C-alpha cells in the first residue's frame, strides 16, 4: 500500500480497540454460479456464449467444497453463505436432478462437520434457460415454477441446513436486469422494473411461507444490498431529486413492504400483501460503496475529497454501512441484522485489511447507535467470477487459487481476520 493510500484510510480506521462478543457471527459469503461455474443450462452461460458477459470456468467449489469449508473453519469462520444453482437441480421444467441435490446435501453436511453453519440462498441472479425462455419472473404465470423449486429445494436441504435466504439482492436484480438492462434478461424499461418490484416482493412472501412450513423449521432471512444514494453535488437540486427518487423506490418500497405488507411502487396502485409483513427472521445487509447521482450518471460517493479508491474505481465510504444499518434497524424494529456481504476488489492486501477494518468500525458505530447487528460475512472466501468483470485482477477473496491446479493459498487478509476472530478484538495497532 502506498503512503498516499495509508493517509487516505487514516480517518476511516478505528482509533481504539473494538471488542466482539463470543457469539458474534463471523462468516463468508459466496454464490453458486460465481464459485461453481461450469457449462450449466442458465441464462448467464447463454449470455457468455453470445459474447455479452465473460465466460465463467468457476473456482472449483463444486468439487472442492469440503476443502474450502475446512479452510474456512481453520480461519475461525463459523458461517458460510452459499447458494443453489437452480439450473443444476431443475435442468428442465419439472425434472429435478436428485444427484445435484445430493451434492448440495453433502456440501451442507461437510460444513456442519467442519463446525461451519451453512446459510443456503435459493436464487442468486441466474435462471435456468427453460425459465428464461418462458419470460422469467416478469410473466406471473411462471411464478409457480419458482415456488415449486423453493419447496423442493427446501425439503431436500432443510434437514441439512438451519438457515435459508429466498434470494440475493432482489432489488439489484430488478435494477440491473429490468431498468438498466446490464444483466440478463437485458431489459431497459421502467414499467417492467416497477412490475418486477412487486413480483419479487410477493415471491419473497410466498417463499418465506413455504420455507417456514418445513421441518425442522429454518431461519429465513433476506439479503439486500444498500446503495446509499447521494447527489454528487449536494447543492444541485436535480441531482438531489434524482437520488431521492431512486432511494424512495429502491430502499423505501422494500423497507415499507417488509414492515407493513404494503407495496407502493411508482406508477402503480398500492397493493397490500398481508403475508409480506414481517416475512423475515433476520435482515441480510450487503454493502460495498455509496452511490452518487451526478451529471454523468451514477458513480460512487464519498464525503472526502481524496478517499481511497478500489480496483474497480469505487470510492471507499464506510459511513454508508453505518447509516444504512441504523436506517434498516429503525424501519424494522426487533429484526436482527447480519452484514451478509462486504469486501473489496484489490491486489493489495494492506488495502483489503484496511477496508475491512474501516467497515468493522462502521458496524460497531451502528451498534452503538442501536442497530442489532449480530455478524459479519466477508465477500468472499476464494476468488470467484465477478459477473461483468469475470476473473480479472479485481479479486475479492481472502483466499487465492491457482487456475491451473485449483490449489488455494490464504492471503495476509485471511490471517489478519483470523486473528481478529480468535482474539475477539480488532486492535488498531495490528492494522498495517
Mean pLDDT, residues 233-254: 97
pLDDT digits (tens, 9 = 90+) for 263-313: 999 989 999 999 999 999 999 999 999 999 999 989 999 999 999 999 999
Spans of all domains in the chain: 3-430
Per-residue pLDDT, 376: 99
Residue 267 pLDDT? 87
Residue-level pLDDT at 390: 96
What pLDDT shows up at residue 67?
98
- Residue-level pLDDT at 108: 98
> How far apart are alpha carbons 345 and 310 in whole angstroms?
6
Give the pLDDT confidence score for residue 5 in this predicted structure. Answer: 87
pLDDT digits over 70-102, tens only? 999 999 999 999 999 999 999 999 999 999 999
For residue 220, what pLDDT is reported?
98
CA–CA gap between residue 48 and residue 125 (Å, rounded): 14
In terms of Cβ atoms closer than 10 Å to its own Cβ (0-12, 13-18, 19+), residue 405 is exposed
Indicate if the pLDDT at residue 1 is higher than 90. Answer: no
pLDDT band at 387 (very low <50, low <70, confident <90, very high): very high
- pLDDT at res. 377: 99
Q: How confident is the model at residue 245 (pLDDT cuts 50, 70, 90)?
A: very high
Q: Please tell me the predicted confidence (pLDDT) of residue 419.
A: 98
Provide mean pLDDT across the span 371-375.
Answer: 98
d(CA 23, CA 2): 36
- The mean pLDDT value of the chain amounts to 97
Regarding the domain with residue range 3-430, which homologous superfamily does it belong to in the CATH classification?
Answer: Glycosidases (3.20.20.80)
Residue 158: count of CB within 10 angstroms of its CB: 19
pLDDT over 90 (residue 121): yes
75 grid coordinates: 480461519
- Is-contact 84 107, C-beta < 8 A? no
pLDDT single digits (tens) 163-183: 999 999 999 999 999 999 999
Give the model's confidence band at 412: pLDDT under 50 very low, under 70 low, under 90 confident, else very high: very high
**pLDDT computed for residue 102 by the predictor:** 98
pLDDT at 283: 98
Amino acid at each position: 500500500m502506498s503512503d498516499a493510500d495509508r493517509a487516505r484510510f487514516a480517518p476511516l480506521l478505528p482509533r481504539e480497540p473494538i471488542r466482539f462478543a463470543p457469539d458474534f457471527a463471523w462468516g463468508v459469503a459466496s454464490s453458486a454460479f460465481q464459485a461453481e461455474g461450469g457449462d450449466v443450462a442458465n441464462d448467464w452461460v447463454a449470455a457468455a456464449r453470445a459474447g455479452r458477459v465473460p465466460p465463467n470456468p468457476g473456482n472449483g467449489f463444486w468439487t472442492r467444497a469440503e476443502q474450502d469449508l475446512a479452510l474456512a473453519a481453520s480461519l475461525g469462520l463459523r458461517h458460510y453463505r452459499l447458494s443453489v444453482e437452480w439450473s443444476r437441480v431443475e435442468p428442465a421444467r419439472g425434472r429435478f436432478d436428485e444427484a445435484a441435490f445430493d451434492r448440495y446435501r453433502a456440501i451442507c453436511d461437510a460444513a456442519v462437520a467442519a463446525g461451519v453453519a451453512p446459510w443456503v440462498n435459493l436464487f442468486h441472479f441466474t435462471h435456468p434457460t427453460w425459465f428464461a425462455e418462458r419470460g422469467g419472473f416478469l410473466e406471473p404465470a411462471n411464478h409457480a415454477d419458482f415456488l415449486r423449486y423453493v419447496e423442493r429445494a427446501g425439503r431436500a436441504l432443510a434437514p441439512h441446513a438451519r438457515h435459508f435466504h429466498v434470494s440475493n439482492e432482489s432489488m439489484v436484480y430488478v435494477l440491473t436486469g429490468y431498468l438498466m438492462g446490464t444483466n440478463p434478461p437485458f431489459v431497459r424499461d421502467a414499467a417492467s422494473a416497477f412490475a418486477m418490484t412487486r413480483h419479487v416482493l410477493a415471491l419473497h412472501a410466498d417463499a418465506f411461507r413455504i420455507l417456514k412450513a418445513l421441518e425442522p423449521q429454518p431461519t429465513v432471512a433476506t439479503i439486500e444490498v444498500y446503495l446509499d444514494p447521494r447527489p454528487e453535488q449536494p447543492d444541485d437540486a436535480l441531482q438531489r431529486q434524482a437520488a431521492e427518487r431512486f432511494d424512495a423506490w429502491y430502499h423505501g418500497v422494500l423497507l415499507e413492504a417488509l414492515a407493513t405488507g404494503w407495496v407502493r411502487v411508482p406508477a402503480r396502485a398500492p397493493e397490500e400483501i398481508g403475508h409480506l409483513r414481517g416475512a423475515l427472521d433476520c435482515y441480510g445487509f450487503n454493502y460495498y460503496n455509496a452511490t452518487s447521482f451526478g451529471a454523468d450518471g451514477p458513480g460512487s460517493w464519498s464525503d472526502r475529497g481524496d478517499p481511497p479508491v478500489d480496483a474497480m474505481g469505487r470510492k471507499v465510504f464506510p459511513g454508508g454501512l453505518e447509516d444504512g444499518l441504523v436506517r434498516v434497524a429503525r424501519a424494522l424494529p426487533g429484526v436482527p441484522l447480519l452484514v451478509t456481504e462486504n469486501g473489496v476488489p484489490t491486489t493489495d492486501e494492506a488495502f483489503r485489511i484496511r477496508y475491512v477494518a474501516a467497515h468493522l468500525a462502521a458496524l460497531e458505530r451502528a451498534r452503538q447507535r442501536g442497530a442489532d447487528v449480530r455478524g459479519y460475512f466477508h465477500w468472499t472466501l476464494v476468488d470467484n467470477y465477478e459477473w461483468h468483470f469475470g476473473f480479472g485482477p479485481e479479486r475479492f477473496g481472502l483466499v487465492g487459487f491457482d487456475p491451473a491446479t485449483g490449489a488455494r493459498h490464504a492471503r495476509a487478509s485471511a490471517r489478519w481476520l483470523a486473528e481478529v476472530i480468535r482474539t475477539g478484538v480488532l486492535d488498531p495497532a495490528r492494522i498495517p
